[in-house]
Amino acid sequence: MGAFGVRYYQEETRLHCIETIDVISLDEWSMRVGVPCVDIIKLDIQGHELDALLGGVGLLKSTVRVIYTEVEFIELYDNNCLYFQLETFLREQGYRLYQLYNLQTGQDGQLIYGDAIFINHDRVAL
């Protein structure tokens, strides 16, 4: 957790355990399992959504229609991406914000996080 994470979620920031996991990029996963077409990507990975999407540029440029992702508006976690960084990257890939959902604020009124849907208008007919 970052400083704001401790501020807004003091009880939830205690370390319980450390786990080591293997990760691969979205593009590599797509090739390994033989899934050349992905319509929707859903992400909620505690501020590292941009990292995941950077590993899926091939899919983003070719098949993905919709991205449903958690977005942070403050530094809840160390090195988390913020909404504007994610939106800038997705705009460069041809996606536009469709809507924000489930917005959460702190007791002081600070906008903390929520969910966002981004769509590729070339692939989605509205």
Domain ranges of the chain: 3-119
Nearest-angstrom CA–CA distance, 73 and 82:
5
Contact by Cβ (8 Å): 117, 98:
yes
Output the pLDDT for position 9. 65
Output the pLDDT for position 17. 84
As a whole number, mean pLDDT of residues 22-33 equals 94
- Tokens for 93? 């890939």
Output the pLDDT for position 126. 75
* Pairing of β 111-119 and β 66-72: antiparallel
Q: What is the C-alpha end-to-end distance of the chain, expressed in Å?
A: 38
Query: What is the tens place of the pLDDT at every residue in 79-99?
Result: 889 999 999 999 999 999 999
Output the pLDDT for position 95. 97
Output the pLDDT for position 84. 96
